[in-house]
Structure 1
Amino acid sequence: MEKIAASVFQFDVIRGGVAENRALVMEALEHCPSGLVVLPEMWSCGFDYKHLDTHALGTEEILKDLSDMARRRSLVIVGSLPVSEGGSIYNVAHVMDADGRLAGSYSKTHLFTAGGEGRGFAAGSSAGVFETMAGPVGVMICYDLRFPELSRTLMDKGARILAVPAQWPAVRRTHWQTLARARAIENQLFVVAANRCGEDGELRYPGSSLIVSPTDQVLVDMGEGPGLATAELDFSLMDDYRKAIPCLRERRPEVYAL
């Protein structure tokens, strides 16, 4: 597949407001064109640390709804939800393929300890690239974006798209924009990054969900308001650019080793 539609949906995630958040997301998915859509991080409940156990119990039901929606609308859906496993809670991005199959899941590897994430979540320990109707999709979650080693690993595993669900605050908006663009440029792939907007307590979120091409063309920058935006990803342009600027095959790992 040479071209696909990719969408990002950003909204004001209500902490603990599962019913409201769920209704907003399902309505948005009804209006997405067939292709890939990325949702914000922890979109069902936000960082409702006091009730994560309860919210995690509802994740399976939400995944059934996403499976039905993916199959009916021919969507590849990526967004993170709380999952309980082995007595711990993980921040997990599920990749639902367009046939309703769960293509895979990725547990957030890098917890934002400065924001207290370690008090509610356990860290994942593996990188994931998942085969989907949209092609091979690698997943990073929010703070993961600061770690180029992870994005490079995903590219090496065959990712042609990096999907990034996030709740990145407005105070570091320029970091969000710069890092998303850097991950696209250095790995010569598409970055589809969905960030929340609105406010949660003292934190303000800028939205600014992004779709960035391998050539650093910002195909989408949504700004601050809630909504849905879509761009076309042309993989033939990506392949041509990798041939023209062959930095991926001209790496010298033996020099970089510690």
Structure 2
Amino acid sequence: MLMDFKTFYSLQLKTSAIWEQNLQKLEEKISLCKDNSFILASEVFLTGFAYQKMQEAHEFSVIATRKLQEISLKKTIGITMIEKIGPSYVNRFKIFHKGCIKYTQQKVKLFPIGNEHLHFKAGKIEDIQIFDIDGVSCAVLNCFEIRFIELWQKIQGAQVIFIPAAWGKTRKVHFQTLTRALAIVNQSFVIASSCAGHDYAKGSCIITPYGIVYKNDSKDIIEAQVDLSEVEKMRTYINTGISH
């Protein structure tokens, strides 16, 4: 069996009140990542949950989208943004690949403790799909969504699962447990990126189908070179019915 190596990066950055600085920091960190890598930033990193400035956040997302298209020519970049669709605002994941927007997905499960349901329109479960990046099957669950087993089943079969998050530090053990369990149960790689701000858990990580976790809360870039063939090996070795 041929080995298929790829480098994964999880960014663990603190969002500042100055959005332009956040975009500049994101560009700088991405520039340090290897070509042909998968890179994930935390949930709404560029603006935070700017509930009092939603229109401005949407307008900034337009600027950021153009920039990320420019710098994704040789890298695959995932991030969520606040965007306006019709009269409503949404928390929307975007994956940038080869200078284009490869896939988008609205957050379906809005976090009630954070009042997300009062500010965002929820997406539809049927819109959560497995998508392809250069022959690698991928999926995304956005933060709170990893608590819902029906969404785990929805993305079963993906080789790589992106989890952008803004996870509260008081529930850090939940984040660590759920992300690792997701990788083991779905026999897939997980790239999880959580905020590094004062109230947030950090815990950003890269997890293998076997459950090995690469993380370091003192770093702002977590890196791991992985062998994608581990997915097929694991699904063959412990056959739970997941397609391989």
Scaled to the shorter chain, the TM-score interval is over 0.9
Alpha-carbon distance in structure 1 between the residues aligned to 2:230 and 2:192: 20
1:226 deviates by 4.9
Identity among equivalent pairs (%): 25
Equivalent residue for 1:211? Answer: 206
Alpha-carbon distance in structure 2 between the residues aligned to 1:84 and 1:150: 24
Q: What's the TM-score, normalizing by structure 1?
A: 0.88
1:2 deviates by 1.7
Unaligned runs of 5+ in 1: 251-258
Equivalent residue for 1:77? Answer: 77
Alpha-carbon distance in structure 2 between the residues aligned to 1:55 and 1:24: 17
Q: 1:222 aligns with which of 216, 219, 242?
A: 216
> Secondary structure of 1:174's partner?
helix
Q: 2:228 aligns with which of 235, 239, 243?
A: 235
Alpha-carbon distance in structure 1 between the residues aligned to 2:209 and 2:46: 31
1:103 deviates by 0.7
Alpha-carbon distance in structure 1 between the residues aligned to 2:45 and 2:121: 18
Q: How many pairs does the alignment contain?
A: 238
Equivalent residue for 1:256? Answer: none
Q: Is the 8 A contact 1:3 1:233 kept in 2?
A: yes
> Secondary structure of 1:32's partner?
coil
Alpha-carbon spacing, 1:165–1:65, altered in 2? closer, same or farther (3 Å) = same
Q: What's the TM-score, normalizing by structure 2?
A: 0.93
> Secondary structure of 2:25's partner?
helix
Q: Is the 8 A contact 1:160 1:189 kept in 2?
A: yes
Deviation per CA, 1:87-117: give whole Å up to 9, x if none.
Answer: 10000010111x1111110101100012211
1:236 deviates by 1.5
Alpha-carbon distance in structure 1 between the residues aligned to 2:42 and 2:135: 19
Q: Is the 8 A contact 1:10 1:194 kept in 2?
A: yes
- 4+ residue segments displaced more than 2 Å: none
Q: Is the 8 A contact 2:156 2:242 kept in 1?
A: no
Q: Is the 8 A contact 2:186 2:242 kept in 1?
A: no
Q: Is the 8 A contact 2:94 2:103 kept in 1?
A: yes
